[in-house]
C-alpha cells in the first residue's frame, strides 16, 4: 500500500480512475487512424518480405518508422540467419509425346537445380509406396500425389507428412521431390520442409507442382517413363542479418514487469503477406499509437514486438528470448497474433488454465462480444514457442480460419483479402486486452523447468516438438528453461 501511495504522489496520472483511461482509449480509437494505409504500404509498397531479403530490410524500417510516428522509441534488434535465400520460378519441361510445361514453385530454402532428370511415381507418398522405388530413385525426382487441403488439421498434417517424405527421399538418394499442391485451381503456396528451419538449405531439391498439372503428370507416369528438363536457379547467399523491431511504453509503479504483444513482420513472397501476418504487424503498431494518442500510462511496461524469421522456424522470437534471458522472470505475459483477421473466439492458454480469470477480467470491457472460448492447449507454430518453453506465460489468439486457410502462404494472400472493419475490431479488442493485462492486479508467474516439463506432458506438445526439430534443444537444455 505504501509503495502504491508513493507512486501516486510521483505520478499523478495514476490517480485517474481506470474507467477514465478506457474512455480516453476509446476516444482515441474513434479518431481517424493510419492503420489501414500502413498495412497497405507494407503489402503493396514493400510486398512479400522473406527474412533476410532487401524487402525484409525495408519492412524493418516500416516498423521503426511506424512506432516513431506514434511517438515511441523503437529499435531493430538484429539476429543472424544462416543463409539468405531467393526463389526463382522453376521451369520444367516434360519431354516426349504428351509432354508439357507444368506450373510449379520452389519450397522455401530449396537448393537450385539445372539438368535433365528421370521422374518416378512415388504414389501417395506413403513409406511403402516410396520404398518400392528402391535403388531406381538414385538421382531421380520422385513425384508425390496429395489430398486437397480443406481443414487446419490437414494443413498442419502437411508439415508432418513432408518432413517424413523428404527424409525417405533423401535416404533413397533421390535428387529431389515434386509434390502435388494441396490447393485446387493451380494455386501455389510456399511450403517449408520442417527439417530445414534456421535458414538451413534443404538437402534435396524440393518443388511444388500445381495440383492439376501434378494430376496430369501422375497420369503420364502410369503410361511411360518420364524425363524432364528442370531449371530452378534459386540463390543462396550465405549468412545474412535479420532483425526484430522492438518498442515500448514504460510502466509506472510496476514498470519492471513487462507485458508483450507480438506479431511477425516477415512473410512469404508469392503473395504479399496481408493476412499472414501484415495485418497483425500493423495492429501492433496501431495499438502503440492509440496508447500514446490517449496519453495512457500503464502500470506495467508494455512492449511491442515485430518479429522476423517466423516463417523459417520462429527465429526472431527465439533470438529475442536468448538475448533477453536475464529478464524473462519479469516478462509476465506474451500475447501473439498470427491467424489473420478472422473473429477471435478465445485464446490458446499455452497449457495454463489459470490464465482464465485474469484474461476474462482484462477482456471484460469488451462486454458480451469478448472472446471467451479459451483453450488449454499448447502448440508449436508461432512466436510464443520459445517463451512457452522458458516458462513465460503466453497467449495466442484463436481465430476463425475461413479467410486465412485458403490463402495461407499462397499467391492469394494479398491486401484485397483484408476486411478493414475486422482489422479495426481486432485492434480494439487487442488494445483493451493489453491495457487490461498491463494494469491487472496480478499476473501469472514464470514456471520452473519441472513445471514446463509437466506442461509439455499434459498438453501433448512433445510429438510436435519432435516433428519441427525442437525436441533435442529442449532435451539438452540448449533451448528452453534450464
Ligand atoms: Zn504467420
CATH code: domain of residue 419: 3.40.630.10
Q: Separation of 300 CA from ligand 1 center, angstroms?
A: 27
Q: Separation of 112 CA from ligand 1 center, angstroms?
A: 25
Judge whether 480 lies within some domain.
no
Q: Determine the pLDDT at residue 18.
A: 67
pLDDT band at 469 (very low <50, low <70, confident <90, very high): confident
Q: Is the pLDDT of residue 332 over 60?
A: yes
Q: Separation of 273 CA from ligand 1 center, angstroms?
A: 9
Question: Contact 416/276 with Cβ under 8 angstroms?
Answer: no
User: Which residues, in sequence order, are bridge partners of residue 113?
Assistant: 232
Q: Separation of 208 CA from ligand 1 center, angstroms?
A: 20
Q: Separation of 59 CA from ligand 1 center, angstroms?
A: 15
Q: Determine the pLDDT at residue 15.
A: 42
Q: Separation of 330 CA from ligand 1 center, angstroms?
A: 26
Average pLDDT over residues 241-250: 98
- Which residue stretches of 133-237 are H helix? 152-171, 211-223
Count of other CB atoms within 10 angstroms of residue 472: 11
Q: Separation of 277 CA from ligand 1 center, angstroms?
A: 5
Q: Separation of 223 CA from ligand 1 center, angstroms?
A: 41
Q: Are residues 317 and 449 in the same domain?
A: yes
Q: Are residues 213 and 254 in the same domain?
A: no
Any idea what DSSP says for residue 482? -
Q: Separation of 354 CA from ligand 1 center, angstroms?
A: 26
Q: Separation of 267 CA from ligand 1 center, angstroms?
A: 7
Q: Separation of 306 CA from ligand 1 center, angstroms?
A: 12
What are the cell numbers at 252?
509506472
CA–CA dist 66, 27 (Å, integer):
21
Residue the block writes with cell 492503420: 35
Judge whether 7 lies within some domain.
no
Final residue of a structural domain among 207, 233, 259: 233
Q: Separation of 420 CA from ligand 1 center, angstroms?
A: 19
Q: Are residues 279 and 177 in the same domain?
A: no
pLDDT band at 6 (very low <50, low <70, confident <90, very high): very low
Q: Is the pLDDT of residue 16 over 70?
A: no
Q: Separation of 428 CA from ligand 1 center, angstroms?
A: 21
Tell me the pLDDT tens digit for each residue of 437-468: 999 999 999 999 999 999 999 999 999 898 88
Q: Separation of 278 CA from ligand 1 center, angstroms?
A: 9
* Residues comprising the chain, all counted: 482
Q: Separation of 310 CA from ligand 1 center, angstroms?
A: 7
Q: Separation of 141 CA from ligand 1 center, angstroms?
A: 30
Q: Are residues 225 and 257 in the same domain?
A: no
Q: Determine the pLDDT at residue 8.
A: 39
Q: Are residues 375 and 455 in the same domain?
A: yes
Q: Separation of 125 CA from ligand 1 center, angstroms?
A: 27
Q: Separation of 409 CA from ligand 1 center, angstroms?
A: 8
pLDDT band at 196 (very low <50, low <70, confident <90, very high): confident
Judge whether 265 lies within some domain.
yes
Judge whether 72 lies within some domain.
yes
Final residue of a structural domain among 204, 233, 262: 233
Q: Are residues 469 and 366 in the same domain?
A: yes
CA–CA dist 149, 165 (Å, integer):
17
Q: Separation of 261 CA from ligand 1 center, angstroms?
A: 15
Average pLDDT over residues 333-352: 98
Q: Determine the pLDDT at residue 1.
A: 45
Tell me the pLDDT tens digit for each residue of 110-145: 999 999 999 999 999 999 999 999 999 999 999 999
CATH code: domain of residue 102: 3.50.30.30
Judge whether 129 lies within some domain.
yes
Residue 407 lies in domain: 15-84+239-475
Tell me the pLDDT tens digit for each residue of 364-399: 999 999 999 999 999 898 999 999 999 999 999 999
Instruction: Tell the burial category of 255 from Cβ atoms under 10 Å away from its Cβ (0-12, 13-18, 19+).
Output: middle
Q: Separation of 156 CA from ligand 1 center, angstroms?
A: 13
Q: Are residues 62 and 115 in the same domain?
A: no
How many domains is the chain partitioned into structurally? 2
Question: Contact 413/399 with Cβ under 8 angstroms?
Answer: no
Q: Are residues 447 and 327 in the same domain?
A: yes
Judge whether 10 lies within some domain.
no
Q: Determine the pLDDT at residue 214.
A: 98
Q: Are residues 149 and 214 in the same domain?
A: yes
pLDDT band at 198 (very low <50, low <70, confident <90, very high): confident
Q: Separation of 88 CA from ligand 1 center, angstroms?
A: 22
DSSP-derived 3-state class of residue 350: coil
Q: Separation of 340 CA from ligand 1 center, angstroms?
A: 8
What is the percentage of the chain residues whose pLDDT exceeds 90?
93
Final residue of a structural domain among 172, 202, 233: 233
Judge whether 139 lies within some domain.
yes
Q: Separation of 251 CA from ligand 1 center, angstroms?
A: 29
Q: Determine the pLDDT at residue 197.
A: 80
Q: Are residues 182 and 289 in the same domain?
A: no
Q: Separation of 338 CA from ligand 1 center, angstroms?
A: 5
Q: Separation of 34 CA from ligand 1 center, angstroms?
A: 22
Average pLDDT over residues 252-257: 98
Q: Separation of 395 CA from ligand 1 center, angstroms?
A: 15
Instruction: Tell the burial category of 22 from Cβ atoms under 10 Å away from its Cβ (0-12, 13-18, 19+).
Output: middle
Q: Are residues 357 and 447 in the same domain?
A: yes
Q: Determine the pLDDT at residue 191.
A: 96
Q: Separation of 430 CA from ligand 1 center, angstroms?
A: 17
Judge whether 482 lies within some domain.
no
Q: Separation of 50 CA from ligand 1 center, angstroms?
A: 12
Q: Determine the pLDDT at residue 9.
A: 39
Tell me the pLDDT tens digit for each residue of 71-110: 999 999 999 999 999 999 999 999 999 999 999 999 999 9
Q: Separation of 247 CA from ligand 1 center, angstroms?
A: 20
Average pLDDT over residues 324-332: 98
Q: Separation of 386 CA from ligand 1 center, angstroms?
A: 15
Q: Is the pLDDT of residue 11 over 50?
A: no
pTM of the model: 0.95
Whose CA is closest to 23, among 361, 299, 295, 360?
Answer: 295
Tell me the pLDDT tens digit for each residue of 277-318: 999 999 999 999 999 999 999 999 999 999 999 999 999 999
Q: Are residues 183 and 248 in the same domain?
A: no
Amino acid at each position: 500500500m505504501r509503495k502504491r501511495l508513493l507512486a501516486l504522489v510521483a505520478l499523478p496520472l495514476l490517480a485517474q480512475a481506470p474507467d477514465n483511461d478506457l474512455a480516453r482509449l476509446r476516444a482515441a480509437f474513434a479518431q481517424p487512424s493510419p492503420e489501414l494505409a500502413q498495412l497497405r504500404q507494407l503489402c503493396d509498397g514493400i510486398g512479400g518480405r522473406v527474412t533476410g531479403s532487401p524487402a525484409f530490410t525495408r519492412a524493418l524500417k516500416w516498423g521503426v518508422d511506424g512506432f516513431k510516428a506514434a511517438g515511441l522509441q523503437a529499435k531493430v534488434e538484429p539476429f543472424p540467419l544462416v543463409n539468405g535465400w531467393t526463389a526463382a520460378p522453376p521451369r520444367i519441361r516434360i519431354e516426349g509425346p504428351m509432354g508439357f510445361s507444368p506450373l510449379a514453385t520452389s519450397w522455401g530454402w530449396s537448393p537450385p537445380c539445372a539438368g535433365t532428370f528421370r521422374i518416378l511415381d512415388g504414389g501417395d507418398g506413403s513409406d511403402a509406396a516410396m520404398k518400392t522405388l528402391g535403388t531406381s530413385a538414385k538421382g531421380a525426382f520422385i513425384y508425390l500425389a496429395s489430398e486437397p487441403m480443406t481443414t487446419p488439421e490437414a494443413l498442419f498434417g502437411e508439415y508432418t507428412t513432408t518432413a517424413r517424405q523428404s527424409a525417405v527421399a533423401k535416404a533413397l538418394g533421390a535428387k529431389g521431390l515434386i509434390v502435388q499442391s494441396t490447393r485446387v485451381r493451380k494455386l501455389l503456396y510456399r511450403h517449408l520442409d520442417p527439417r530445414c528451419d534456421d535458414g538451413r538449405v534443404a538437402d534435396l531439391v524440393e518443388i511444388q507442382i500445381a495440383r492439376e498439372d501434378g494430376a496430369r503428370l501422375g497420369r503420364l507416369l502410369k503410361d511411360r517413363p518420364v524425363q524432364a528438363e528442370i531449371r530452378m536457379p534459386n540463390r543462396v547467399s550465405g549468412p545474412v542479418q535479420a532483425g526484430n523491431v522492438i518498442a515500448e511504453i514504460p510502466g509506472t509503479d510496476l514498470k519492471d514487469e513487462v507485458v508483450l504483444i507480438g506479431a511477425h513482420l516477415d512473410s512469404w513472397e508469392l503473395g504479399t503477406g496481408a493476412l499472414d501476418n501484415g495485418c497483425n504487424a500493423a495492429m501492433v503498431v496501431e495499438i502503440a499509437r492509440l496508447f500514446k494518442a490517449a496519453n495512457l500510462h500503464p502500470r506495467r511496461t508494455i512492449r511491442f514486438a515485430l518479429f522476423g524469421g517466423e516463417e523459417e522456424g520462429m527465429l526472431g522470437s527465439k533470438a529475442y528470448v536468448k538475448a533477453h534471458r536475464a529478464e524473462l522472470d519479469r516478462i509476465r505475459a506474451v500475447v501473439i497474433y498470427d491467424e489473420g483477421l478472422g473473429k477471435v473466439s478465445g485464446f490458446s492458454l499455452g497449457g495454463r488454465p489459470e490464465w482464465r480469470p485474469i484474461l476474462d477480467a482484462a477482456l471484460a470491457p469488451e462486454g458480451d462480444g469478448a472472446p471467451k472460448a479459451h483453450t488449454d492447449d499448447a502448440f508449436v507454430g508461432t512466436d510464443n514457442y520459445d517463451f512457452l518453453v522458458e516458462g513465460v506465460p503466453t497467449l495466442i489468439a484463436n481465430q476463425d480460419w475461413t479467410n486465412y486457410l485458403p490463402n495461407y502462404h499462397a499467391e492469394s494472400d494479398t491486401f484485397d483479402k483484408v476486411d478493414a472493419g475486422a482489422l479495426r475490431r481486432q485492434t480494439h479488442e487487442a488494445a483493451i486486452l493489453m491495457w487490461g493485462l498491463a494494469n491487472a492486479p496480478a499476473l501469472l508467474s514464470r514456471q520452473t523447468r519441472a513445471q514446463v516439463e509437466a506442461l509439455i506432458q499434459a498438453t501433448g506438445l512433445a510429438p510436435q516438438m519432435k516433428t519441427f526439430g525442437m525436441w533435442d534443444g529442449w532435451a539438452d537444455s540448449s533451448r528452453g528453461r534450464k
